[in-house]
Amino acid sequence: MRCRDEIKIQQVYQKAIELIVNEGLNGFSMQKLAKAAGVSPATLYIYYKDKDDLITRLGIAEGKRMLETTVDGFDQEMPFAEGLRVQWRNRARFWLDNPMSVKCFEHLRHSPYRDKIFETIQQDFAEAMGHFVRKAVRNGELAPVPLEVYWSIAFAPLMNLVKYHLDGRSVGNKPFYLSDEILNQTLDLVLKALRP
């Protein structure tokens, strides 16, 4: 059995991300990936059982990387405003530094691979975030709202700002750059909206 070549695996993942973003999951094949990554198709089958195995493992690896970045410097015992600020900065950094990865992950979130990927990556993250949010509600720092409402208010504004930044344009085709000032101004409004 051949040893795993981590550099080759990262090269394959990078090319797989590019193919999924540029051609979608329907246009993705092991043959195209092998050609793009400069490896033989047989090499891919040394590391992966099949296309589904490769895509699932890619989604898990990218999801874990995203979640690890999100919790860098975060402590579930932090005051709510401080903890949300850390998450915003981390998420913004990841999304801005890894736009192809984020676009790929969006493809996977809306695919049959979603459940298998999320059941693998979310357990620890969901427990930490659940504790953080419940503590904030108990401490009167956060209004008790359904998870979907919380998520929409807490993170959708950040996602929109990052999208505008990556597009280089905002509403009305106006040039846009995400500055710390805009990020903080938006987060302050989000925190205000989430207070009881």
Contact yes or no for 79/182 (Cβ under 8 A):
no
* Residue (of 139, 90, 97, 107) closest to 26 by Cα position: 107
**Integer Cα distance of 124 and 62 in angstroms:** 16
* Residue 137 exposed, middle or buried by CB count within 10 Å (0-12, 13-18, 19+): middle
Mean pLDDT for all residues in the chain: 93
Tell me how far CA of residue 147 lies from CA of 23, 70, 132, 134, 158, in angstroms.
Answer: 33, 18, 13, 11, 17
Using the predicted structure, report yes or no on whether residue 48 has a pLDDT greater than 90: yes
Angstrom distance (rounded) from CA 31 to CA 43: 11
- CB-based contacts of 40, cutoff 8 Å, min separation 6: 34
Query: Is the pLDDT reported for residue 95 higher than 70?
Result: yes
pTM of the model: 0.87
Q: Note the pLDDT tens digit of each residue in 116-128.
A: 999 988 877 888 8
